[in-house]
Amino acid sequence: MSFDPERAEIRFGCGLSPRIAPPVSVDDMMARLTGPDRIAAALPIPDYDAYRPRMSEVHAIKKVQKNGRTEDERQAAYKTYIKLRRKTRADAAGWMGQMMLRRALTEDGLRERLVSFWADHFTARGNGRIWPQGQLPYIEQAIRPHVSGRFGDMLRAAALHPLMVKYLDQSKSIGPNSAVARKQGKRAGLNENLAREMLELHTLGVEGPYEQADVQALARILTGVTFKLKHGFVYAKKQAEPGPHVLLGHRFGAKKPKLKHIHDALDMLATHPATAGHIAHKMAVHFVSDTPDPGMVADMTVAFSATNGDLAAVTRVMLEHPAAWADGPRNVKRPIDFIGSAMRALDVVPRQVPTKKPKDMRALILAPLTLMGQPLEAPPGPDGWPESDADWITPQRLAARLQWAMAAPYRLTKVLPRPEDFARAALGGTLPEPVRFAAASAETRAEGIGLVLASPAFQRV
Amino acid sequence: MPIKPLSRRHFLTRSAALGCSLAASPLITPVTFASARGEGRLVVIVLRGGLDGLDLLPPMGDGNLAALRPDLDPATDLTGFFGLHPAMDPLRPLWAKGQLAFAHAVSTPYRDKRSHFDGQDLLEAGTGMETLGQTDTGWLNRLLAQMPGSEAQTAYAIGRSDMLLMRGPADVANWSPDAALTLSPQAELLLERVMHDDPLFRDATSEAIMLSQSAIGLGAMQDEPGESDMMSAMIAAKTGARPDAIASFAAQRLREDTRIAAFSLSGFDTHASQSRGLPKALERLTQAITTLRTDLGPIWDKTTVVAVTEFGRTARINGTGGTDHGTAGAMIMAGGALSRAQVVTDWPGLSEADLYQRRDLRPTRDLRAHLAWMLRPMFGTEQSVLERAVFPGLDMGPDPRLIA
């Protein structure tokens, strides 16, 4: 098999749209991907720098709530906090709506899919206060600009981002011989969490050529990485462990620790052959098949290494490989891809998505995603969402998909298309006869549309 | 909608009507000897957020309580020393029958960091502090692995989220009553046709339809099927299924082949205005227990319900009328299998010096020891297995004789 416009849109994009033409070639896909990010400009989501002031504000209010002089002052601060948190949750629900709308309306579906893939690769979850709502701003800042850039740049942006640093306890990691540890005689120690996940998940992979000593070395190298709510990323030299440290046989750092040493170590990891193989395999599994073609993975690995991790080059090699277009066992869409592609097939427009009504957003999109097994703000762990199809299609998770398919389209669009037309628009040339029949035979439009969305033909890529 | 008992035959007729293969469905795997698993039923409820044991069971006989909790809810006496939170009053008839018990000043081995996530991980993993975050199986799953003749239907994890408590190599069934489907008969038949050639989707669909038709007590879901009902269920879903719906579903499974069911209730993280928040959370718990009591019928006599939480809360009330993350707390037990009504505790006292780190109720017993002493007679599990495989590193200590 080779390039096919509909398959390009279904497998590597956000699904077929009745209005937006699919790409005509791999070159066309790549040109869209590496061109300007039009849909983000049209449907903005604030990046983390824009979100940060709100975090500082909450911090200040919490201080008053704890240390205010009078009970009244403390109570008032608590009420202000609750109000601000409610507003933030409402705003974040709106950003989720923007994110789904990008999928519905983009001419560059591959970019949305890559953002989602890399955000999952660099899963960072916020806990407490308004940290969870910082997730989309984190993705907007640390992931999105890099999906067709250098992997090393994304690694730096994501792994050292405040959301990740907090999530994986990096700011608590203090070099035992650092200035802080020596001067204050504080109980200081290393925290290996970020170092371990960086090796195991972000770069080399769990099968990679590292040992516990490398985890400890990287933990030492990473000391000093922290953040301040007001400034974002901060390098705190005083917490840093003096070097040098030996990581995978290379020496990093010096007696006087510098941020550059950390960057050097990250660059080495980002271009390591094991990283190339790990990333190539993971992309192939995510986009093409749970058991990907070894030849395709090998070609992608070579491309990664030859270009020092140029992700546009790796993506292009994947798309140019015949196995990428094979009919084979097709992956199941994740819930976010399922809802996103359904909205696209329904040609949902911005005014139909209640981005300003958090209650409706929760009912229509966020709660269903949770029931389908993908509560967006609460990924299960730093390893992100499961890849295996069987994890997603359990009875209760599938029930949630079916329920959404039957009920949500009407709530979103108010005017439903003829189910037969919808089936053709949503599935194109891949429309199987039983689905066509079901669409034509349903008692109501809502059920007809629901059956099309419920079909494995629609739920797989 | 009348409550229909769900039988194996019912499953088979339904699936025949749908004309689909259910070979891969755990629902119709042939029953092995039910007696091999014993007749005892266990329901584990995880109370997420950190239940305040001192508000649930205030030690009214402890002279230091009043200073720590000046505005305590008016609890009524339970044992002469401990009172009981008024939201628990619907359970008093069980106490009178010897079917309600508590353990106080208990905790997991989790100490000092007071994080919900780590605390719940340890509670569900059932391990010690030294393996925090490194265990990816739950103690209920490891118990199942030790039970002869256990199969997928032996244990049920109920609710939409994956519970570490039940995770592991042993097969466990999963269902969430709020995932119920309402389909017209025509849509159901067409759905069957659409799914037919894809085994993964076909089998999951058949199970979803059967389970949602068997689920009872779903409020709005039971009325006329239609879009608005489906959406209202979706809206309700954001807060999770109602506790009575979950308990009802659990009872229904337990009346058949299921021996162990587990689900979570949340809302116990009462940092502020505890006197408003805690009663609501406790009402959900009492509702779950009373529903189990009613719906289990005669099986109740063989049942033990145990509710555990990741940690207790600070002994002192804080500046916002709430309590913060603490250490020791209480666990709640109910069921006809209990030996008697009691509050099991080695009471540590509440003076400044008695408190753990001068802030929390001091743990005097590992709650895993109580759990282990329940499992020992209920499932005939050997003490050595409990101390090594189910709760690695646990010293069970003396038997509190919780089970009759």
Q: Where are the beta strands (DSSP E) in B8-133?
A: 41-48, 76-77, 83-84, 100-107
Which of B201, B228, B232 is best to mutate for the A interface (most A CBs within 10 A)?
B201
B152 in contact with A at a CB cutoff of 8 Å? no
Considering only alpha carbons, which residue of chain B is nearest residue A388?
B200
Nearest to A363 among B160, B200, B238 (CB): B238
Taking only the tens place, the pLDDT of each residue in A257-300 is: 999 999 999 999 999 999 999 999 999 999 999 899 999 999 99
pLDDT of residue A452: 98
φ, ψ dihedrals at B283, nearest 5°? -60, -40
pLDDT of residue B49: 87
Q: Which residues of A touch B233 (CB under 8 A)?
A: 403
pLDDT of residue A175: 92
Q: Average pLDDT of chain B? A: 81
**Pick from A43, A4, A36, A47: which is nearest to A23 by CA?**
A4
Overall pTM > 0.90: no
Nearest-angstrom CA–CA distance, B137 and A241: 35
- Strand pairing category for B173-175 and B155-158: parallel
Residue B229 has pLDDT above 50, yes or no: no
Residue type, B266: S
pLDDT of residue B20: 29
Nearest to B320 among A75, A366, A396 (CB): A75
pLDDT of residue A388: 86
Taking only the tens place, the pLDDT of each residue in A209-248 is: 999 899 999 999 999 999 999 999 999 999 999 999 999 9
pLDDT of residue A36: 98
Residue B9 has pLDDT above 50, yes or no: no
pLDDT of residue B180: 64
Taking only the tens place, the pLDDT of each residue in B154-184 is: 787 776 556 788 887 777 777 766 666 778 8
pLDDT confidence bin for A42, thresholds 50/70/90: very high
Residue B21 has pLDDT above 60, yes or no: no
Taking only the tens place, the pLDDT of each residue in B324-333 is: 889 999 999 9
| ipTM given for this complex | 0.92
Residue B219 has pLDDT above 80, yes or no: no
pLDDT confidence bin for B13, thresholds 50/70/90: very low
In three-state secondary structure terms, B151 is coil
pLDDT of residue A381: 84
Taking only the tens place, the pLDDT of each residue in A153-199 is: 999 999 999 999 999 989 888 999 999 888 876 566 888 889 999 99
Percentage of chain A with pLDDT > 90? Answer: 83
B235 in contact with A at a CB cutoff of 8 Å? yes
**Pick from A341, A394, A432: which is nearest to A101 by CA?**
A341
- DSSP assigned state of B336: T
Residue type, B302: K
Residue A128 has pLDDT above 90, yes or no: no
The predicted model gives A124-144 an average pLDDT of 95
Residue A146 has pLDDT above 70, yes or no: yes
Convert A192-218 to b/e letters by CB count within 10 Å (16 or more is b): bbbbbbbbbbbbbbeebebeeebbbbb
Residue B217 has pLDDT above 70, yes or no: no
Residue B35 has pLDDT above 50, yes or no: no
pLDDT of residue B226: 38
Taking only the tens place, the pLDDT of each residue in B292-328 is: 999 999 999 999 999 999 999 999 988 778 888 899 9
Q: Average pLDDT of chain A? A: 94
Q: How many CB atoms lie within 10 A of CB A338?
A: 23
**Highest-scoring range by mean pLDDT, A86-95, A404-413, B264-273:** A86-95
Which of B182, B213, B230, B314 is best to mutate for the A interface (most A CBs within 10 A)?
B230
Residue A346 has pLDDT above 70, yes or no: yes
Residue B208 has pLDDT above 80, yes or no: yes
Q: How many CB atoms lie within 10 A of CB A307?
A: 17
Considering only alpha carbons, which residue of chain B is nearest residue A406?
B227
B3 in contact with A at a CB cutoff of 8 Å? no
